[in-house]
Amino acid sequence: FTIELTNELKKAHIPFVVISNEDNFEEIAKEYKYPFYIKAEPHTDLAMKKSHLSSAKGVITLSPNIADNIAMISSVRLFENELGRIPYYIMSIADKSVDVEKLLKLGANEVINPNKLMAKRATAIAKDHKIKNLLEEFLYSDTNINLEELKVPKKSWILFKKLKESHLRDLTSCSVVAIKSKNGKFIPIPKDSVILKPGDVLLVVGTSKDMRKMRKLIRSKEKPKELDFI
């Protein structure tokens, strides 16, 4: 999992540090060209300080041993509280449903069950093998297409405008494919008449370059001048 993950992170230009205490870890790190790595017990204070966890956005803990993932999640949450910083995003894995629930209760934001994920993938392929690679090609290939959740700020210029009136696609070439409202309502493929409200989370598809434009546009308090020419 770690080797495949680091390959994808490098392709996406996402900085990371790999920490492991495996006996042959340094050989693995050099063979797969990890840019930064530390041979240590991941959940220790020394490892977290050496990896500059204080400036990181999150942690992915992928140990096959559930106890190691528990120790990592607990240690990161304690470290987070000591720093008084915004919460880290923590992702982990577990083979059993009971362990998935346990890690979520301990503070993980996302816990993936590889067995269920594989079963869902196999079922999707069985239903329609012609489109089996569509999502993978769209999101994970070298086409540089991203799928992101962008929250509408309280003072954004797009507030209380219809999706059509905001002209987000015209201004950024990004597409809003779904909206999750503050009350939890999920709107797939929203209509142009949907009104954008504070706290709405927009599920947006676009290239990395266009996504930067979209983030800046949504966070702006002032209506863009380009809108006058659309």
In this structure, what DSSP letter does residue 18 have? Answer: E
224 φ/ψ sector (left φ>0, alpha ψ -120 to 50, else beta): beta
Count of Cβ atoms closer than 10 Å to residue 108 Cβ: 25
| pLDDT of res. 118 | 87
Interhelix angle 97-106/66-83, nearest 10 degrees: 10
Report which residue type is found at 198: P
| pLDDT of res. 124 | 75
| pLDDT, mean of each 10-residue run, the chain (230 residues) | 91 91 94 95 94 95 95 96 95 94 95 90 76 58 75 94 94 94 90 94 91 94 86
| pLDDT of res. 147 | 83
| pLDDT of res. 13 | 84
Characterize the bridge pairing of strands 18-20 and 37-39: parallel
Q: What is the pTM of this model?
A: 0.66
| pLDDT of res. 141 | 56
| Residue 16 C-alpha from the chain's centroid | 14
The burial class, CB within 10 Å (0-12 / 13-18 / 19+), for 176 is buried
In this structure, what DSSP letter does residue 89 have? Answer: E
Q: How far apart are CA 113 and CA 93, in angstroms?
A: 6
